[in-house]
Every structure is written in C-alpha cells, then in structure tokens.
C-alpha cells in the first residue's frame, strides 16, 4: 500500500504529464468536435449526395454539384471573388503600410493611434456597413456634397457598384493589415537604420534594403488576414453590392436559403474552403522563404 | 611632471600644417532642459587612437553621435569639423565615416558577405570590385571569406559578429572609425585579444580611431590619447600616462585607477615643496609635504591624490626621513595576484582608510610581514603627491 486512492491517482497522473494536458484541452476540444467537425462532415457528405425534391438530400453518391460549379456562370462569380479579394488586399496593403509605419515611429502617441486603429472593432460590422449605405446611396452624404458643389448634375450611382463593395471590404479589414505590420516594424532595432545611414544609405535605400525586408513577416500576415475573410465575404457584397455584385459567399447563402439546393451550397462551400487552404499555404510558404532569406 | 593637459573648454592646439581630422569647437547638445554635452572641445590627429572615457550618462555616446551625424549640435556657435569642414547639419550618409555599434547592428536578413557589401553597394561600386573588397575586409579582421561569408548573423558568436561589424565599417576605407563600446558584450579573454587587434588595425591602416568606453583599463591599454568626460564636460585630455600619473581633478584620479585623497591647507615653503596641514580625511591634524606647483599659496586649500602603488609600508619606528606618513593599523590584506593591497585604518581621527599596493614578490616564498591589527605607517615621497584642481 502506498497511500490513499487520491494519492495513488495523483502519482499516476504525475508520471503521465500528457494526461494533464489532455484534461485541460478536453472541454474546448469536445466543443469543436461537436459543433465544428461534425457539422462539417455532414456538409461534406451532403455535397456528394443527390438533391432532394423539397430541399435536403436523397441517398446516393454524385459529383454533379462539383461539376456544376465549373459552369461559366459560377466560374465568373469565383473569378470576381478572387479579383476583389486580391484588390481589397492590395488596397489595404497600400493604405495600411504607411499607417503602420507612421504609428511605429510616433513615439509617445503610439498607444493612442493604435487605439484608434482598433476602435472600429467596438461597433458591429453590420452597423458599420449600414452606415456606409447612408454615405453612398443616391440621396446620401457623398452625393449630397457632389450636387451642392456642382461637381455632378445628378446623383452618381455609388451604392450597388463594385466601388461600394471595395469600400466595404477595405474599411472592414484595414485594421487587420495595420496591426501585424505595426508589430513587425515596432520590433525593428533603430540601430540597424543608423548603421545603414552611416554606411551611406539614403532614406529610400534604408527603407527598401532594411525596413521593408524586415517587416515582410508582418506584411505576409496582414495580407493573409485580409485576403481570407475577403474571399468569404458575404455581408458586404450583399448590402453594398446588391444583386449584381454576387461573390461566392452570397452564392452559398442563396443556395442554402432561397434555392434550397443544400448539396450544391455545400459543394460551393468546400470549393471556397479549398481556395482558402491554398491561399494560406501560399502565404505560409512566402513567410518561410522570407525567414530562410533572413 | 607639471600639468600639461590644456584646461577643458579650449581647443587643443598643436603645430600641424593640415587641419585636424576631427575637431569639436565648444560643441553643446541639449535634450530639453538637460545638457548631454556641454561646450566640449577636442581635436583628433591623423591616425591616432583617441578614447572618450567616462561613466554612463557622462555624454560620451552623445559626443560620438554628434560626430556620426545622428545628432545635430545646439545652434550656439559650436562647430563639429571633419577634415576642416564644418559638418554640424550634414546627414550621416554624407559624412563617410565608419562606425561599429555597441550592439553590432548587423542586418539580420543579410549574410555576412551581404552585410559587408552593403556600404559598397550604396556607393555604386562595380560588382567584381565589391566581391574582392569584401573578401579583403574579411581577411583583415581574420575571418575566412569562403563558406563563412554565406552565414547569417544569427548563427554567429559574439566575437564573430564583432569582427563582421568591423569588416563592414573598414571595407569603405573611412578616414575615421567610430567605435561605441564595441567590446562590452564579449568575454574577457576575447576582449583582450580584440584590444590588441584593434590597436594593430589602427597602426597598420592609418585610420583615426575614436573609441568610446567606460572601461578605464581598456582606454589606458589602447589609446594614444584619452578624453575623460564627466557630467557632459571633458575633465581632462591627455596621454594615458598623463591621465594616470597626473590627474587634474579628483574625479579623474578616482575614475582611473585607485587613489588615496587628502585635503589640507598650505602653510608655507618647506625645502623644495610646500608644507601642508591636513584639514580633513585621513590625517586630520597631521602634516605632510607636497611638491611646489602652480596655484599654491600659503593659506590656500589643497587636495592631493596618491596612487596606492606609490606608497610603501614601514614599521612606525622605522620611517625614512623626508617621507610623508600616515600612522594606523592594518585592517585587511587583499591578495590580488600582481600586487597585495594592504588597507590601513588611519589613527588620529582619520575617517577614510588608506590603501597601499605592494608588489607581490611571492607570498609563499617571501610573505609580507603585515597582519591585520599590526601598527604601521603608510609612507610616500612628496613628489608622488598629485596636486588636484577644484572641480
């Protein structure tokens, strides 16, 4: 006898540290299995099953839904989605990098400026998107100014255009670009810039040869954080793009809700997931390459 | 040994036909209300190894940064000159200096070779010339140009980074090399080796070195001349021997090496020197003789420094004539290798112990006769007193 059962149990656990880790991770793990993995598997199964007459599915196996996605109509939606996601990422990078750079160099104002960048997250994305409608619609703020200043004779259509969708995407995801770039610039040792300067590097050369390469991990992370949600955007094109500017996210929604074609909606979802996976792998490889180069 | 160093605040004037390589003329630098550098003047001669020595916060790094161009001096008429030209507001990349940073500041995303090549690329050097000069610079600091040159800074040891940083600066063949405590982060043995190597590079390349350090031993070992800084000002400029053997102020005397300080009041001439009554410190009420020197007059206060190794110990009844003496008892004996330090608690109201350094002639074969508690007299010759100026 080595002691009470409690003591025996504790000693047994102590000799197997893996079990302690398991106990800590179990609640969240079970949650994810029950409410993420299981529904996903159901979706996967649906995407390979024939469509039922009143929604739902019938028994059997078919690749029909995946084949259907490659029809020109849907490929156009996919192409538009990719283009806009790339565009939103590029615009966020062009706007976000200077902001991150300015904040990293702003000294004691840093905290406040970062606070301002994060501030929009305190309001619901939906509310902010509706606010954009007030700004962009024909009787909205922008058109009001254009008319009053005599820059336009009649309201310029802004809402329900690709422009409106892009405004929505960039406004929603810009902070996700700024923050990781700021984090990498903030770590930059000022002595490196001084060393470059003594070695004869003018401001632009210092930026190109030292600042930019060393902030590359932040740029890659920022692009990933903007590109992936842009690819799956649903709310923004729905509210700001109207019926004409459909993205893959809207296609999924319409298949599940209005068309009641669940297996096709599931297949589109999986194509989108595959695209996201590819994007993540590309970005991760770019990051590793940046790491290997130093 | 009369004080030969010029007082702080006046440019060093030496008869040369060419202008000094670097000249500071009453240069100040303020950050807000604090003066980091206060009317500093000095000049560097071509090829010399010049150190700025001082405790942290004394302004030595700011002085270096003023020369590098990272800071602009206050607009109060002070001038920073490089080879005769005023460069107060010239950017660092226009100054063509070499600099080795305390943290080395190697570019972490570039290989050793790319780091060394960086400065050459900024000066639009042809590619084949770059390769050749990079290889030569690496050899200069005794690094092999081959596979080593392809390694990244993160995989290098502290000593290797140090050498790469040096090669990166030297490859541009600058007229002046600035070194900001470059040996602070490497271990003692390597540091000694690097000291010797830096000195050799300085002699062989003919480049003027401006070396900033807080390590007095390092400054004494390597420098042709030293500027000791304290509270944003230069306290003294001179050769290592001048600084050590003829310190101008108590700060310099205490910052460089150990020293015993005595305060007193001049009474009058005594033989070749002056008789002084001790007023405070070790030998209150006692008397001693100091060498004749400038600024001494009967009734004036005087402060003197005596290096521990210039003192000797005698039994109280066997002190030779003419020697200054402080009587007391041995408090502690410290074995230090080359020397043995004997700490003497001065009797007769002395408030600070006297430290006497005796040459170690082998404690196992010829042990010193002093033990704690022994009555003893610490003695020194009048000419070994350094008469200090008020700070």
pLDDT digits (tens, 9 = 90+) for B265-299: 888 887 778 888 887 655 656 788 888 776 788 88
| Other C-beta atoms lying within 10 Å of the C-beta of residue B146 | 9
3-state helix, strand, coil in chain B (%, to 5): 25, 35, 40
pLDDT at B10: 47
Strand partners, B275: B268, B289
Distances in Å between the Cα of A63 and the Cα atoms of A60, A67, A70, A199 are 11, 6, 12, 63
Spell out which residues of chain B touch residue A187, defining contact as CB-CB under 8 Å. Answer: none
Structure tokens at A75: 């490929």
Q: Which residue of B has its CA nearest to A206?
A: B122
Nearest to B313 by CA among B354, B262, B253: B354
List the beta bridge partners of residue B356: B342
Is-contact B140 B172, C-beta < 8 A? no
B122 and A200 within 8 Å at the Cβ level: the answer is yes
Give start and end residues of each alpha helix (H) in A33-71.
38-47, 64-69
Residue B184 contacts A, CB cutoff 8 Å? no
Residues of A in Cβ contact (< 8 Å) with B99 = 195, 198
Higher pLDDT pick, B112 / B280: B112
Query: What pLDDT is attached to residue A242?
Result: 81
Which of B69, B70, B122, B149 best probes binding to A when mutated, by most A CB atoms within 10 angstroms?
B122
Q: What is the pLDDT of residues A181-207, one digit of tens each?
A: 999 999 999 999 999 999 999 999 999
The proportion of chain A whose per-residue pLDDT surpasses 70, expressed as a percent, equals 97
A294–B99: do the CB atoms touch at under 8 Å?
A: no
Nearest CA in chain A to B68: A198
Cβ-defined contact of B101 to A195 (cutoff 8 Å): yes
Nearest to A290 by CA among A231, A219, A207, A242: A219
CB contact under 8 A, A199 and B111: no
Q: Chain B, 56-75: which have a CB under 8 Å from a chain A CB?
A: 68-70
Percent of chain B whose pLDDT exceeds 90: 63
B105 vs A194: CB contact, 8 Å cut-off?
Answer: yes
Alpha-carbon span B299 to B320, nearest angstrom = 28
Phi, psi of A151 (to 5 degrees): -80, -15
The per-residue pLDDT for A207 is: 95
- B377 beta partners: B314, B327
Q: What is chain A's mean pLDDT, rounded?
A: 90
Report which of B60, B280, B86 is spatially closest to residue B179, judged by C-alpha positions: B60
**Residue in the block written with tokens 């541009």:** B172
Percent over 70 (pLDDT), chain B: 93
CA distance B152 to A5: 56
- Band the pLDDT of A290: cuts 50, 70, 90: low
Cβ distance B107 to A199 less than 8 Å, yes or no, reads no
Interface test with chain A among B70, B105, B156, B181, by most A beta carbons within 10 Å: B105
CB A221 within 8 A of CB B130: no
Q: Are A191 and A113 in contact (CB under 8 A)?
A: no
Please answer yes or no on whether A195 and B99 come within 8 Å at the CB atom.
yes
> Cα(A139)–Cα(A157) distance, rounded to whole angstroms?
10
- Where is pLDDT greater, at B274 or B49? B49
Asked if the Cβ–Cβ distance from A195 to B105 is below 8 Å, we say yes
The reported pLDDT for the residue numbered B227 is 97
pLDDT given for residue A75 in this prediction: 93
B220 in Cβ contact with B199 (< 8 Å): no
Give A108→chain B minimum CA distance, Å.
16
User: Which one, of B242, B273, B263, B290, lies nearest residue B5 by Cα?
Assistant: B242
Q: Which of B97, B152, B153 is nearest residue A198 as measured by Cβ atoms? A: B97
Cβ of B93 within 8 Å of Cβ of A200? The answer is yes
Residue B182 contacts A, CB cutoff 8 Å: no
Asked if B103's CB is within 8 angstroms of A199's CB, the reply is no
Query: At which residue do the structure tokens 């041995």 appear?
Result: B330
Q: Which of A194, A200, A210 sits opposite B119 (nearest CB)?
A: A200
Residues comprising chain B, all counted = 391
Residue in B163, B160, B182, B241 with CA at minimum distance from that of residue B61: B182
C-alpha A204/C-alpha B170 separation (Å) is 24
Q: Which of A148-152, A289-293, B194-198, B272-276 has the lowest mean pLDDT?
A: A289-293
Contacts of A194 in chain B (CB under 8 A): 68, 70, 92, 101, 105
Q: Which residues of A touch B177 (CB under 8 A)?
A: none
Q: B57-74: string of b/e by CB count within 10 Å (b at 16+)?
A: ebbbbbbbbbbbbbbebb
- How buried is residue A160: exposed, middle or buried, by Cβ count under 10 Å (0-12/13-18/19+)? buried
- Its sign, for the CA torsion B32, B35, B40, B45, is negative
Based on C-alpha coordinates, what's the Rg of chain B?
Answer: 25
DSSP bridge partners of B29: B37
Count of CB pairs separated by less than 8 Å, A with B: 69
pLDDT given at position A5: 85
- Give the other-Cβ count within 10 Å of B129's Cβ: 10
Are residues B118 and A201, on separate chains, in Cβ contact within 8 Å? yes
B210 reaches A (C-beta below 8 A):
no
Query: What are the CA-CA distances from residue A121 to residues A104, A124, A176, A178, B267 (Å)?
Result: 21, 7, 10, 13, 82
Using the structure block, give the residue that is written with the tokens 């990098």. Answer: A97
CB B45 within 8 A of CB B21: yes
Interchain contact B31–A (C-beta under 8 A) = no
Residue-wise pLDDT for B224-237, tens only, equals 999 999 999 999 99
**Closest CA in chain A for residue B94:** A200
Contact by Cβ (8 Å): B54, B213: no
pLDDT digits (tens, 9 = 90+) for B255-264: 998 899 888 8
> Between B109, B152, B154, which is nearest A214 by CB?
B109
* Residue B370: Cβ-neighbour burial (10 angstroms; 0-12, 13-18, 19+): middle
Supply φ then ψ for residue B301, to 5 degrees. -80, 150
Tell me the chain A residues in contact with residue B107 when contact means C-beta distances shorter than 8 Å: 192, 195-196, 209-210, 294
Asked if B172 lies within 8 A of A199 by C-beta distance, the reply is yes
Mean per-residue pLDDT for B336-345?
A: 91
**Which residue in chain A is spatially nearest to B171 when comparing CA positions?**
A199
**CA atoms of B296 and B266, how far apart (whole Å):** 7
B82 in A contact zone (CB under 8 Å): no
Verify whether the Cβ–Cβ distance A200 to B152 is below 8 Å: no
End-to-end Cα distance, chain B: 20
Q: Closest CB to A201: pick one of B69, B93, B102.
A: B93
Residue B156 has pLDDT above 80, yes or no: yes
Shortest CB distance from A210 goes to which of B98, B107, B119?
B107
> What count of residues does chain A have?
294
Sheet bearing B339-346, strands edge to edge: B312-314, B375-380, B324-335, B339-346, B354-359
- Chain B residues with CB under 8 Å of A288 CB are none
Mean pLDDT for chain B? 88
Residue B16's pLDDT band, with cuts at 50, 70 and 90, is low
8 Å CB contact of B93 and A189: no
Chain A residues within 8 A of B169 when measuring between CB atoms:
198
**Class of residue B331 by CB neighbours under 10 A (exposed 0-12, middle 13-18, buried 19+):** middle
């Amino acid at each position: 006898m080595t002691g009470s059962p409690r003591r025996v149990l504790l000693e047994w656990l102590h000799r197997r540290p893996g079990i302690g880790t398991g106990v800590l991770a179990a609640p969240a793990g079970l949650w994810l299995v029950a409410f993420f993995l299981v529904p996903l598997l159901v979706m996967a199964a649906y995407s390979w099953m024939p469509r039922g007459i009143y929604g739902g599915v019938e028994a059997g196996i078919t690749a029909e839904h995946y084949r259907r996605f490659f029809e020109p109509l849907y490929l156009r939606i996919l192409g538009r989605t990719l283009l806009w996601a790339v565009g939103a990422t590029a615009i966020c990078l062009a706007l976000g990098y200077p902001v991150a750079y300015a904040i990293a160099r702003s000294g004691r104002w840093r905290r406040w400026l970062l606070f301002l960048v994060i501030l929009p997250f305190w309001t619901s994305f939906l509310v902010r998107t509706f606010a954009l409608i007030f700004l962009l619609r024909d009787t909205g703020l922008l058109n009001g100014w254009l008319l009053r200043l005599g820059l336009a004779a009649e309201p310029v259509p802004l809402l329900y255009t690709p422009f409106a969708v892009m405004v929505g995407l960039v406004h929603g995801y810009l902070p996700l670009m700024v923050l990781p770039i700021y984090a990498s610039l903030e770590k930059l040792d000022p002595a490196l810039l001084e060393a470059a300067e003594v070695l004869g590097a003018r401001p632009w050369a210092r930026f190109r040869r030292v600042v930019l390469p060393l902030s590359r991990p932040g740029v890659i992370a920022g692009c990933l954080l903007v590109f992936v949600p842009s690819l799956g955007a649903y709310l923004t094109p729905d509210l700001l793009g109207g019926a004409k500017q459909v993205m893959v996210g809207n296609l999924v929604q319409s298949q599940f809700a209005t068309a009641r074609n669940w297996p096709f909606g599931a297949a589109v979802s999986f194509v989108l997931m595959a695209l996201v996976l590819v994007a993540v792998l590309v970005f991760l490889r770019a990051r590793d390459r940046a790491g290997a180069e130093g | 040994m009369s004080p030969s160093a010029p007082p702080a605040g006046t440019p060093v004037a030496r008869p040369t036909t060419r202008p000094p390589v670097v000249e500071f003329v009453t240069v100040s630098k303020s950050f807000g209300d604090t003066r980091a550098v206060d009317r500093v003047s000095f000049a560097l001669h071509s090829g010399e190894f010049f150190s700025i020595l001082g405790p942290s916060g004394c302004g030595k790094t700011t002085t270096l940064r003023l020369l590098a161009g990272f800071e602009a001096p206050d607009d109060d008429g002070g001038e920073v000159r490089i080879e005769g030209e005023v460069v107060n507001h010239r950017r660092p990349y226009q100054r063509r200096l070499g600099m080795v940073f305390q943290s080395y500041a190697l570019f972490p995303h570039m290989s050793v070779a790319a780091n060394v090549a960086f400065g050459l690329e900024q000066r639009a050097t042809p590619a084949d010339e770059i390769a050749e000069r990079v290889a030569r610079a690496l050899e200069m600091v005794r690094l092999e140009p081959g596979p080593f040159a392809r390694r990244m800074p993160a995989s290098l040891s502290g000593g290797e980074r140090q050498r790469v940083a040096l090669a990166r600066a030297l490859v541009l063949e600058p007229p002046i090399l600035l070194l900001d405590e470059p040996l602070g982060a490497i271990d003692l043995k390597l540091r000694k080796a690097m000291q010797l190597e830096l000195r050799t590079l300085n002699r062989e390349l003919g480049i003027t070195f401006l070396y900033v350090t807080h390590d007095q031993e390092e400054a004494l070992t390597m420098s042709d001349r030293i500027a000791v800084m304290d509270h944003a000002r230069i306290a003294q400029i001179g050769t290592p021997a001048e600084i050590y053997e003829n310190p101008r102020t108590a700060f310099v005397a205490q910052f460089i090496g150990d020293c015993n300080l005595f305060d007193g009041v001049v009474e009058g001439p005594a033989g070749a020197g002056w008789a002084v009554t001790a007023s405070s410190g070790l030998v209150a009420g006692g008397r001693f003789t100091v060498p004749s020197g400038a600024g001494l007059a009967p009734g004036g206060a005087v402060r003197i420094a005596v290096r521990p190794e210039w003192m000797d110990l005698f039994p109280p009844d066997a002190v030779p004539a003419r020697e200054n003496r402080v009587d007391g008892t041995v408090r502690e004996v410290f074995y230090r290798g080359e020397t043995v330090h004997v700490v003497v608690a001065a009797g007769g109201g002395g408030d600070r112990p006297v430290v006497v350094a005796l040459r170690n002639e082998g404690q196992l074969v010829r042990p010193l006769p002093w033990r704690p508690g022994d009555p003893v007299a610490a003695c020194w010759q009048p000419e070994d007193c350094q008469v200090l100026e008020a700070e």
